[in-house]
Amino acid sequence: MINLQTEKGKPYPLGASFVKEGIQFAYASDSKDVGLVLKNIKTKEITNIPFKTDTRSGNIYSLIVKYLDADKYVYRFYEDGLPVVDPYSKTVAGNEKFGIKKDFDMYSAIVKEDNYDWVDDKRPLTSFDESVIYLLHVRGFTNHSSSKVKNKGTIQGILQKVEYLKELGITALELMPSYEFFEYEPLTNKKNDVPDLSDISGESKVNYWGFKEGFYFSPKASYCSTKDITKEFKDFVHVLHENKIEVIMQFYFPDLIKENIIYEAIRFWATQYHIDGFHLKGNKIPFTLIANDPLFSDIKLFYDYIPENDIYDPSYVPENKNLCVYSDAFMYQMRKVLKGDEDTLKELIYFSRLSYPKSASVNFMTNYYGFTLNDLVSYDRKHNEDNGEKNLDGCDYNFSWNCGIEGKTKKTSIVKLRKRMMKNALFLLFTSKGTPVLFAGDEICNSQQGNNNPYCQDNSVSYINWNLTEDSKEMLEYTKNLIKLRKEEFTNILNREFSMLDRTGTGFPDLSYHSDMAWKADLATYNRHLGIMYSDYSKENETVTLYYLAFNFYWKDITFSLPFIPEESKWEPVFSTGLVKNIKESKDASKESKFEIENRSCALFKTEFKKVKNAKNTIGGLSKQ
């Protein structure tokens, strides 16, 4: 037993912190039997130091251990005779290998928070208008043998894919839970923050996703490749910032987590790790408190609902939005549109105009829950048998379509249709108003074999397979071009308020809807095709640019009519997922230009021309002068 000098400390901060006299340990508990446990890393000698009554302030025990060499010891607390890992741990030792059920002798390292040199680190501060978010699971992104990276399944593996991400056009990574958590639930619940794994023969399954109570101040050790996980994670963020890529972290807080811990955890990661944004998940998030903190004024905050009226004064509109609605409404409604359900064109119109006054919104066709993009067009039903729950888990309503055959097939017509359907889905995503979120692997046709809830699949089901087929390569190039198109052509157009009026005197409203006939959108329940046209005007060179998006989700080819444009201009097809044919240009204002688009496909047309003086919008198109 070593002889240590101690004295009463201060109630804050909780956890272990460096003070002038030594190292302070503070722990909150309403128990009277509480103490500190120190373990010598080299000799394994353990020293228990009870918290005496005079070290208590309210329900916080705190003492300072003088002259303690932080590099030689790890620590934890005990409460009522049971070990407790510090919930404020900056590094948790003992869970360095993912998915190991045994040898859980958990302690916390003593970490000095301000010893990292960020040099000239600058957060990219990319606006929502210009963002393309890429959602991934740190382990699953590179753990497959085909990833061909060192340190597979870690943040180092991600860094080895930085050039890939940049070429794809990604501006931000959204990481599924990357703070420390136990992959296995305790089979005997002694103390809910230290698992009892004395019996590993039970039915406890690996929690691959990590949506459970965790250690919210510590990076996940198994997602790092070195022992110094705090430095490695900060290096990770620093390198991504150098490459103009933001880091957004998901945090899940069960109802039992107190609001003060949620608030402190988010502030900690923002200040200590320079995190660019947080996707907060849970029912009791103190979102208004966090959003009103000046520290977060330029940090992205995502939640399923933004209480704008509780955060901002009625007359205030933020110049740079940092709050964002993260809802799956777009996903489910656009899936219906994609597979050609009846009476869905109104939803397509709704999402082409959806805008929140003081916050942004994201769109996605797939996410970690539900089918991947490939599976969305390959399965009518979920296939979660491997989860061990008799296929009862996961969502029953996926709004998917297998295109005629359930699962894998080599039938040429089915393969061709599925490819076009995936392209349509991405076309919908990247030409819609709102910030797009791309689920990792969708750009290369990754499959989870029909499993729409692989929360416990730490295997090839959840890992991205980087062995690219010809179809995968084609989809990857298509996605790159689509993202490039959005950035170069649509960023300024989609992310603005639409009036559906001709405010610039060009003869064309900023947004309009069309169908078989120009200027007349037929929204009958049985129709499955729609034309959406955006008008943009440059005062600098007096140029009008029109973008016409043609959506055909019907199982037959459809003929569209394009609005009349000046004689010197011409409609040009610039992007399509299927065949565009029989284009008939008309120079007569009384007649419409027409084109035919292949069944279940989308296309983009563009034209540019100089503004006509005193142009009149006749609703039937630009009048001749």
pLDDT tens readout for residues 366-376: 999 999 999 99
- The answer as to whether 521 is a domain residue is yes
Q: Given pLDDT bands bounded at 50, 70 and 90, which one contains residue 490? A: confident
Tell me: pLDDT of 199 over 50.
no
Tell me: pLDDT of 591 over 80.
no
In the chain, the amino acid numbered 31 is: S
Q: What is the pLDDT of residue 431?
A: 94
Segment 323-352 shows an average pLDDT of: 96
Q: Given pLDDT bands bounded at 50, 70 and 90, which one contains residue 113? A: confident
462 plus 316 within the same structural domain: yes
Tell me: pLDDT of 339 over 50.
yes
Q: Given pLDDT bands bounded at 50, 70 and 90, which one contains residue 226? A: very high
- Region of poorest pLDDT, from 21-25, 34-38, 46-50, 615-619: 615-619
% helix, strand, coil for the chain, step of 5: 25, 25, 50
**Inter-axis angle of helices 345-353 and 329-338, to 10 degrees?**
140
Q: What is the pLDDT of residue 58?
A: 96
Choose between 188 and 233: higher pLDDT: 233
480 plus 604 within the same structural domain: no
pLDDT in tens, 235-287: 999 999 999 999 999 999 999 999 999 999 999 999 999 999 999 999 999 99
Tell me: pLDDT of 437 over 70.
yes
443 plus 388 within the same structural domain: yes
CATH code at position 532? 2.60.40.1180
- Within 381-453, where are the H helices? 412-430
Distance CA 409, CA 426 (A): 22
pLDDT in tens, 513-532: 999 999 999 999 999 999 99
Tell me: pLDDT of 97 over 60.
yes
CATH code at position 448? 3.20.20.80
Q: Is 549:577 a contact under the CB 8 Å cutoff? A: no
- The answer as to whether 562 is a domain residue is yes
251 plus 392 within the same structural domain: yes
Q: What is the pLDDT of residue 185?
A: 66
| Burial of residue 275 (number of CB atoms within 10 Å: 0-12, 13-18, 19+) | buried
357 plus 292 within the same structural domain: yes
Name the token pair of 333. 């409604």
Tell me: pLDDT of 413 over 70.
yes
Tell me: pLDDT of 200 over 50.
no
- Among residues 466, 494, 522, the one where a domain terminates is 494
Over 104-143, what HEC string results? CCCEEECCCCCCCCCCCCCCCCCCHHHCCEEEECHHHHHC
CATH code at position 37? 2.60.40.10
- The answer as to whether 113 is a domain residue is no
Tell me: pLDDT of 585 over 90.
no
Q: What is the pLDDT of residue 35?
A: 97
Q: Given pLDDT bands bounded at 50, 70 and 90, which one contains residue 586? A: low
- The answer as to whether 120 is a domain residue is no
- The answer as to whether 117 is a domain residue is no
Segment 427-439 shows an average pLDDT of: 96
Name the token pair of 114. 């301000």
Tell me: pLDDT of 512 over 70.
yes
Q: What is the pLDDT of residue 474?
A: 97
Tell me: pLDDT of 621 over 70.
no
Domain that residue 60 falls in: 6-84
Q: What is the pLDDT of residue 567?
A: 79
Q: What is the pLDDT of residue 104?
A: 65
Tell me: pLDDT of 593 over 90.
no
Average pLDDT, the chain: 92
175 plus 291 within the same structural domain: yes
pLDDT in tens, 317-332: 898 999 999 999 999 9
Q: Is 607:545 a contact under the CB 8 Å cutoff? A: yes
Q: What is the pLDDT of residue 617?
A: 52
Tell me if the bond preceding 436 is cis, omega within 30° of 0.
Answer: no
- The answer as to whether 329 is a domain residue is yes
Q: What is the pLDDT of residue 491?
A: 84
306 plus 164 within the same structural domain: yes
Q: Given pLDDT bands bounded at 50, 70 and 90, which one contains residue 115? A: confident
Q: Given pLDDT bands bounded at 50, 70 and 90, which one contains residue 509? A: very high
Distance CA 352, CA 94 (A): 50
Q: What is the pLDDT of residue 583?
A: 75
Tell me: pLDDT of 466 over 70.
yes
444 plus 484 within the same structural domain: yes
- The answer as to whether 417 is a domain residue is yes
- Among residues 84, 117, 140, the one where a domain terminates is 84
Tell me: pLDDT of 458 over 50.
yes
N-term to C-term CA, the chain: 98
172 plus 140 within the same structural domain: yes
179 plus 70 within the same structural domain: no
Q: What is the pLDDT of residue 616?
A: 57
* DSSP-derived pairing of the beta strands 82-84 and 73-79: antiparallel
- The answer as to whether 116 is a domain residue is no
DSSP string, 335-395: HHHHTT-TT-HHHHHHHHH---SS-EEEE-S--SSS--HHHHTT-SS---GGGTSTT-SS-
Kindly give, in sequence order, each residue whose CB lies less than 8 Å from that of residue 292, ignoring residues fewer than 6 positions away: 311
- Say which residue the tokens 């071009």 belong to: 481
Q: What is the pLDDT of residue 2?
A: 66
How much of the chain, in percent, has pLDDT values that exceed 90? Answer: 81
Segment 552-578 shows an average pLDDT of: 92
Q: Given pLDDT bands bounded at 50, 70 and 90, which one contains residue 201? A: very low
564 plus 593 within the same structural domain: yes
Domain count, the chain: 3
Q: What is the pLDDT of residue 204?
A: 75
Choose between 97 and 3: higher pLDDT: 97
- Among residues 494, 522, 553, the one where a domain terminates is 494
Segment 326-349 shows an average pLDDT of: 96
527 plus 487 within the same structural domain: no
Q: What is the pTM of this model?
A: 0.94
Tell me: pLDDT of 188 over 80.
no
